[in-house]
């Protein structure tokens, strides 16, 4: 977007002044690994290792390491973090100790199992000590706990303005609680504030869907011109506390929120390198390797990530070659203008001659993904003798879909929201996963809502 030079100068000066006032330092970049050394006191004798997980902002993947513990509970590991990144020690299903690592530097962590307390030393120690011990009590997801689940009934009958005021009330309660707790470090408060602001704005932008749901699908809800006035000065994307966790997506988030609210959200120059790295990683996650121009761009735009991205690029090329050699998955499409029964006819028209299983699924659907694992023995036995087609719609984020489907062998269709709804109605599917078995002549033979089991599917496809 074009801006006047004066506006740019003013904005940069404002950002520089803001950065100087922050307790949390700017993002740190380095090709050197982040080192984590630690000790777990009071571990059971049977505990020989621990999972330590890095959650970087430049990819949707977690990087999981199973790290050996010595007889005294001590451990050491390294992560190619590239930029300031969150790490957690997982000590159980609901026991996760979070802290930040800095590339090229060492963090020392001591976990005392007798009182479940953590002590962190090294860079960002003030933030890490509060984060490791108190995050679960203060995390941003707690903001809307009051209206989650059954609590959404509290919003029944609200106007849009009343809903906005409720969101501000929840935000102010959370901020007061954060500020009143003297056990917390100022750095932790600074870290949490932009996350509170982001979630509050996200809830406010969803007013129409949330209020309609609270009112049983009834009513029309329109915001007033001053609806976003209370949050227009929340430049949360310029705060280091927000960048630590979300720098990779900050460009898109700031633009999206600015479009919706009319606020001028900005992000600092310090985020540019990780933003670029995220875009390059997103391409690799769709199984597309870099062009020569992109290879030069990696070196120029995000040098701290160069070695990691080049290694990922080579791995992507090898994976694509393997998939092409074995024809393991394909992306296909139907005309977006097709309606009614013509949609399904277009999907199945190329598969005559072999029986076909059509799987209606979504990236967010746990039972869908569980069934895909269960059916693997059947697919291995019938691969080449039957066809497997997977169909999803716009409720599945396209980037995540692109990332997941290489491991789901078969042909994949991504249809419009209207086509998805039409297909589910055509087969009476009130939910997913749903399955349609088609014979070698293109006739629908069986329909299932929920996975019926390997024996049923195998018998029907044979």
Q: Return per-residue pLDDT of the chain as tens, 462 residues.
A: 333 333 333 333 333 334 447 899 999 999 999 999 999 999 888 889 999 999 999 988 889 999 999 999 999 999 999 999 999 999 877 789 999 999 999 999 999 999 999 999 999 999 999 999 999 999 998 999 998 888 899 999 999 999 999 999 999 999 999 999 999 999 999 999 999 999 999 999 999 999 999 998 888 899 999 999 999 999 999 999 999 999 999 999 999 999 999 988 999 999 999 999 999 998 898 888 999 999 999 999 999 999 999 999 999 999 888 877 777 888 888 899 999 999 999 999 999 899 999 999 999 999 999 999 999 999 999 998 999 999 999 999 888 888 888 889 999 999 999 999 999 999 998 889 999 999 999 999 999 999 999 999 999 998
Same domain, 118 and 167: no
pLDDT number for residue 379: 92
User: Pick from 83, 85, 84, 97: which is nearest to 51 by CA?
Assistant: 97
Same domain, 351 and 372: yes
Structure tokens at 323: 């998939």
Q: Is 82 within a domain?
A: yes
Domain coverage including residue 431: 330-461
Question: Both 72 and 157 in a single domain?
Answer: no
* Domain co-membership, 94 together with 179: no
Question: Whole-prediction pTM value?
Answer: 0.78
Chain centroid to CA 242: 15
165 and 132 share a domain? Answer: no
Single residue among 112, 138, 164 that ends a domain in this structure: 138
Query: What's the pLDDT at 16?
Result: 37
Residues paired with 66 in a beta bridge: 51
Tell whether 65 and 109 lie within a shared domain: yes
| Shared domain check, 440 and 339 | yes
Expressed in angstroms, the distance from the first to the final Cα of the chain is 58
Q: Could you give the CA distance from residue 299 to residue 31 in angstroms, rounded to a whole number?
A: 12
**In a shared domain, residues 319 and 334:** no
- Does 165 lie in the same domain as 202? yes
Find the CATH number of the domain harbouring 38: 2.60.40.1120
Secondary structure letter of residue 21 according to DSSP: T
Could you give phi then psi for residue 133, rounded to 5 degrees?
A: -100, -25
Looking at 108, 138, 168, the residue that finishes a domain is: 138
pLDDT score of 218: 86
Q: Is residue 311 part of a domain?
A: yes
Domain assignment present for 114: yes
What is the separation of C-alpha 327 from the centre of its chain, rounded to a whole number of angstroms? 29
**Boundary-marking domain end, from 234, 256, 291:** 234
Give the residue carrying structure tokens 């080049």: 310
User: Residue 14 falls within a domain, yes or no?
Assistant: no
pLDDT value of residue 18: 41
CB 80 within 8 A of CB 59: no
Q: How many domains does the chain have?
A: 4
Question: Do residue 201 and residue 291 come from a single domain?
Answer: no
Burial environment of residue 26 by CB neighbours within 10 A (0 to 12, 13 to 18, 19 or more): middle
301 and 223 inside one domain: no
Residue 29 lies in a domain: no
Which ranges of 45-159 would DSSP assign to H, the alpha helix?
A: 125-138
Helix (H) or strand (E) holding 324: helix 306-326
**In a domain? residue 259:** no
Q: What is the pLDDT of residue 150?
A: 86
Tell whether 320 and 349 lie within a shared domain. Answer: no
Q: Indicate which CATH number applies to the domain containing 440.
A: 3.40.30.10
Residue 16 lies in a domain: no
Q: Does residue 247 form part of some domain?
A: no
């Amino acid at each position: 977007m074009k801006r006047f030079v004066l506006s740019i100068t003013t904005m940069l000066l404002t950002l520089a002044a803001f950065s100087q006032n922050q307790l949390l330092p700017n993002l740190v970049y380095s090709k050197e690994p982040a080192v984590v050394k630690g000790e777990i006191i009071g571990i059971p004798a049977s505990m020989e290792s621990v999972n330590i997980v890095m959650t970087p902002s430049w990819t949707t993947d977690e990087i999981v390491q199973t790290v050996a513990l010595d007889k005294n509970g001590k451990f050491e590991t390294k992560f190619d973090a590239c930029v300031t990144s969150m790490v957690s020690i997982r000590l159980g299903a609901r026991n996760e100790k979070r802290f930040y690592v800095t590339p090229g530097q060492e963090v020392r962590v001591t976990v005392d199992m007798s009182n479940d307390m953590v002590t962190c030393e090294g860079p960002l120690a003030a933030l890490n000590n509060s984060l490791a011990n108190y995050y679960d009590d203060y995390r941003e997801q707690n903001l809307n706990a009051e209206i989650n689940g059954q609590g959404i009934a509290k919003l029944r009958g609200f106007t849009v303005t009343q809903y906005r005021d409720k969101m501000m009330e929840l935000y102010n309660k959370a901020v007061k609680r954060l500020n009143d707790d003297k056990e917390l470090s100022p750095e932790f408060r600074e870290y949490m504030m932009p996350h509170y602001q982001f979630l509050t704005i996200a809830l406010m932008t969803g007013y129409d869907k949330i209020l309609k749901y609270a009112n049983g699908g009834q009513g029309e809800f329109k915001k007033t011109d001053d609806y976003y006035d209370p949050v227009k000065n929340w430049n949360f994307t310029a705060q280091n506390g927000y960048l630590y966790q979300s720098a990779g997506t900050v460009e898109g988030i700031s633009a999206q929120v600015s479009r919706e609210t009319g606020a001028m959200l900005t992000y600092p120059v310090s985020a540019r390198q990780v933003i670029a790295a995220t875009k390059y990683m997103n391409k690799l996650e769709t199984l597309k390797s870099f062009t020569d121009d992109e290879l030069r761009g990696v070196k120029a735009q995000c040098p701290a990530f160069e070695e990691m991205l080049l290694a990922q690029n080579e791995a992507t090329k090898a994976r694509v070659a393997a998939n092409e050699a074995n024809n393991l998955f394909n992306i296909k499409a139907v005309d977006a203008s097709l309606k009614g029964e013509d949609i399904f006819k277009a999907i199945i028209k190329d598969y005559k001659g072999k029986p076909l299983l059509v799987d209606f699924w979504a990236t967010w659907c746990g039972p869908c993904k569980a069934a895909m694992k269960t059916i693997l023995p059947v697919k291995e036995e019938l691969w080449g003798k039957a066809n497997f087609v997977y169909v999803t719609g716009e409720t599945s984020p396209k980037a995540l879909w692109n990332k997941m489907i290489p491991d789901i062998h078969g042909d994949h269709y991504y249809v419009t929201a209207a086509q998805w709804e039409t297909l589910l109605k055509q087969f009476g599917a009130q939910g997913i996963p749903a399955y349609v078995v088609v014979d070698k002549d293109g006739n629908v033979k069986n329909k299932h809502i929920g996975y019926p089991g390997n024996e049923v599917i195998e018998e029907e496809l044979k």
